[in-house]
Amino acid sequence: MSQPEGLLGILYRQRGLLAVLISRDLKARYRGTLLGYFWSLLNPLLLLAVYTVVFTYVIPARAPSHVPYPLLLFAGLLPWLFASGALLDSAVVLADNGPLLKKVVCPPEVFPATTVVAHLVHHVLAIPILLVAMVIAASAGAMRFPWTVALLPLALVPWLVAVSGLVLAVSALAVHFRDLKDLLHNVLNLWFFLTPIIYTPDLIPAGLLRQAVLANPATPLVVLYRDVAVMGVVPPLSTWGWAYLVALLCWLGGVWLFGRLRESIAEAV
């Protein structure tokens, strides 16, 4: 069974291969396109523009705070898109790289890691779009530019750790259970609406639905990220603690499951 230290050691020793695979993944994503890597900036910019038009002019939405609703929504969507994109790709990453796993001495850990880092790059490239949008909103008097955005890297860490663990688990399971990819689409759709992304937890009336949202392990991660990114609020230590605890459990569970299934991956792909 792989231990966390063993897995990280493998990734460190294979850092050269990892860099090559990440570069290959990023190039393949935009190969043949006219704008190339510029799409990494254009995609979130277009997404923000659409939300701004829709929720300002088509379906006016009143933000439950001092922050314009499109920015509130965008700040919740950014980490979710990072997580969901990495998870969906992880369901096919080992199968897609089956020839490398069978014919080359290549540890399977590098492929889930490549998926996470590639999506992390896209996420990091989208953050300047959010920052520029907040500067524009602040200059227009629609909000105050939050100094807490300096804490954003600390709010991104639990997302990175949790996603890394879940990607390990999904990638290992997917080579043994081919239906997992389709099932994952539906699970993520349901999970999205149970996560306070298009709303904030305080808008939900007391009851079972509110309890389900608060019990959702993704809730503290979203609240933490959005509070420091746009709300200008330093979350209480309990929120930080829950977010980091969820991340640690996801990581340990993913490493454990990947270690249990590791030896059968090459035969199953």
Residue that wins the pLDDT comparison between 28 and 238? 238
Mind listing the pLDDT tens digit for each residue in 122-180? 899 889 989 999 999 999 888 899 999 999 999 999 999 999 999 999 999 999 888 89
- The stretch 232-260 carries a mean pLDDT of 96
Are the beta carbons of 101 and 94 closer than 8 angstroms? Answer: yes
Q: Give the total residue count for the chain.
A: 269
Contact 144, 60 (CB under 8 A): no
The residue extents of the domains of the chain are 4-268
How far is the C-alpha of 38 from the C-alpha of 59, rounded, in Å?
Answer: 30
Query: Mean of the pLDDT values across residues 181-198?
Result: 90
Q: What angle do CA 45, 51, 52 make, to 5 degrees?
A: 85
Nearest to 46 by CA among 129, 158, 168: 129
Q: Tell me the average pLDDT of the chain.
A: 86
Give the pLDDT mean for 98-113.
84
Give the residue-averaged pLDDT of 198-216: 86
Distance CA 199, CA 63 (A): 9
